[in-house]
Amino acid sequence: MTSEPVIPDFGQGSDCVREDRFFCWDWTQQHWDDTFQPALVEHIELTLIAVSIGFVISFALALLAYRVRRFDAPIGALSGFLYTIPSLALFQLLVPVTGLTVTTVEVALVSYTMLVLFRNILEGLRAAPPDVREAARAMGLSPRQSFLRVELPLALPAILAGLRIATVMTISLATVGAFVVPEGLGAPIFSGLREFFQTKFVVAGALAVALALVADALLVLVGRALTPWAHARRPA
Amino acid sequence: MKMVNRLVELDEGDVLLDDRSVRTLDETQLRRSVGYVIQQVGLFPHMTVGDNVAVVPRLLQWPKARIAGRVDELLQLMGLEPAEFRDRYPSQLSGGQRQRVGIARALAGDPGVLLMDEPFGALDPITRTRLQGEFLRLQDAVRKTVLFVTHDIDEAVRVGDRIAILREGGELVQYDTPNAILSHPADDFVAQLVGADRGLKLLALHRVDEVELEPVSLAGEDDPRVDASATLRDALSLMLTEAATHCVVTNGTRPLGTLSLDRIAELLAPR
């Protein structure tokens, strides 16, 4: 664990810091570069890696369940089960296997994304209406062409909805990962709590919320760009 | 119908397209050469109208310019102004417009045969009648072999050159021209199907200028006038509502001849 002072800069801090007010702008500014910014970058990395890996695995599993229906229930049950394990318990369970490492955090985060992503991707792929599938077949699209040009594009709205939920959830959950390794915005939140220094965890917490909002908004924009038909308005 | 483009495989019997069994044709090639229009239309919701129509030409790898030209040509043919409709999504169209796009899409690859499975079944009566009219006009222009399934005998009589009437269980009861089916139903089932008003339906099939008219001099001053393009049914209706026994058939303002109630009765009388 890090060897930070229990209460930072008692002697030389401002009144705000000495009195441990809810939020101290000067301390935030002074420690942006050495505390918040690196934590924010780490947090983005944690999230991106978890959601990307979770997406790839979920996509492969959803594809399998889409093609072979009998895999649907077992995969759904497994990802549903993973989702029910309390995050702290899951981190703890993984520590003996993968140690106090980022891997432990990522494995847990990936597991949590899977329920949402698997379900949404699968439902999305199944969303193409029967008449549309039949039309594709009747026009001489091969199963592969039908998948790539019809079923997959039509699955995009559901997939993007899943990605939004998974991303926001991962950003929030990743803070708990600091319980295992002091990475991401969870680190200043934990140390702030331990040191009874409010500014630290208030700012880190606010950054996590802001990051979630920004990520969600970005995904909405990506969704608009990728699925223009879903937002098309009827001309008056 | 689905056996023609092999969406459903044949277990026995055969379907011949230009004397070749569909069993021997490559499935994909076959489907690209047979246009398919269904009641639910099945437009791709994520593609614009233009992209929907371009699906088969793209599969056939036509050059871009030819595809664009074909799309505009077909939209125009279906009465959809290309500049206005090309970039819309199916969700931005009315039911009638969607089915027009469906037909344009089916025609895009210039297939020899068109399969239409209750294409106008889901439309309101006004739109249906209008699309039937457009379909007839279109058929005059493109001249395809069309296999058209409908439960609506009026539609069958209106758009069909030959009608096959199937009874429950797929038994073929009568296969003939609309004229023959209306004037000589093969049995009670067909007679019931075409309805007690089959005489009127028969009259609706013919224009007044198709029959031999009597001299204009037979008509009186007050007799109603009917345009040459009207059907015999329209003429009959007009005479009945005007309480007249004769009407004057005109081409614009020029009288062509006289049509009488007796003449119409004669036409309907069993030969």
The candidate with the shortest Cα–Cα distance to A142, out of B55, B10, B35, is B55
Listed as ranges, residues in chain A with pLDDT below 70 are 1-12, 234-236
Hey, is B176 helix, strand or coil? Answer: strand
Task: Match 């981190």 to its residue by tokens.
Answer: A91
B213, B259 Cβ separation under 8 angstroms: yes
Residues of B in contact with A154 (CB under 8 A): 44-46
In sequence order, what are the beta bridge partners of B34?
A: B113
Nearest-5° angle of CA B208, CA B212, CA B217? 90
A78, A110 Cβ separation under 8 angstroms: no
Hey, is B230 helix, strand or coil? Answer: coil
What contacts B185, CB < 8 A, 6 or more positions away?
Answer: B174, B191, B193, B194, B198
What contacts B231, CB < 8 A, 6 or more positions away?
Answer: B203, B204, B205, B206, B207, B208
Prediction pTM value: 0.81
The candidate with the shortest Cα–Cα distance to A168, out of A76, A50, A58, is A50
Q: What is the pLDDT of residues B199-216, one digit of tens each?
A: 888 888 888 888 888 888
Q: What is the pLDDT of residues B101-126, one digit of tens each?
A: 999 999 998 898 999 999 998 888 88
Hey, is B161 helix, strand or coil? Answer: coil
Confidence of residue B58 (pLDDT cuts 50, 70, 90): very high
Can you tell me the mean pLDDT for B162-190?
Answer: 91
- Alpha-carbon Rg for chain A, nearest whole angstrom, is 22
Q: What is the pLDDT of residues A151-161, one digit of tens each?
A: 999 999 999 99
Q: Give the distance from CA B156 to its chain's centroid.
A: 7
Confidence of residue B32 (pLDDT cuts 50, 70, 90): confident
User: Count of CB atoms within 10 A of residue A48's CB?
Assistant: 13
Residue-level pLDDT at B112: 87
In sequence order, what are the beta bridge partners of B140?
A: none
Is A235 within 8 Å of B88 when comparing Cβ atoms? yes
pLDDT score of B23 more than 60? yes
Residue-level pLDDT at A220: 95
Residue-level pLDDT at A5: 54
Question: A105: exposed, middle or buried (C-beta count within 10 Å: 0-12, 13-18, 19+)?
Answer: buried
Q: What is the ipTM of this complex?
A: 0.78
Hey, is B36 helix, strand or coil? Answer: strand
What are the residue ranges of helices labelled H in B94-219?
Answer: 95-107, 125-142, 153-159, 178-183, 188-194, 198-204
Name the residue facing B31 among A138, A154, A230 (closest C-beta).
A138
Residue-level pLDDT at A1: 46
Chain length of chain B: 271
Element housing B261 (H / E): helix B261-268
The candidate with the shortest Cα–Cα distance to A231, out of A135, A123, A151, A156, is A156
Q: Does B4 touch chain A (CB under 8 A)?
A: no
Interface probe with A: pick from B46, B115, B118, most Cβ of A within 10 Å: B46
Residue-level pLDDT at A4: 56
pLDDT score of B235 more than 70? yes
pLDDT score of B159 more than 60? yes
Q: What is the pLDDT of residues B146-157, one digit of tens each?
A: 999 999 998 999
Pairs across A and B, CB distance < 8 A: 73
Residue-level pLDDT at A6: 55
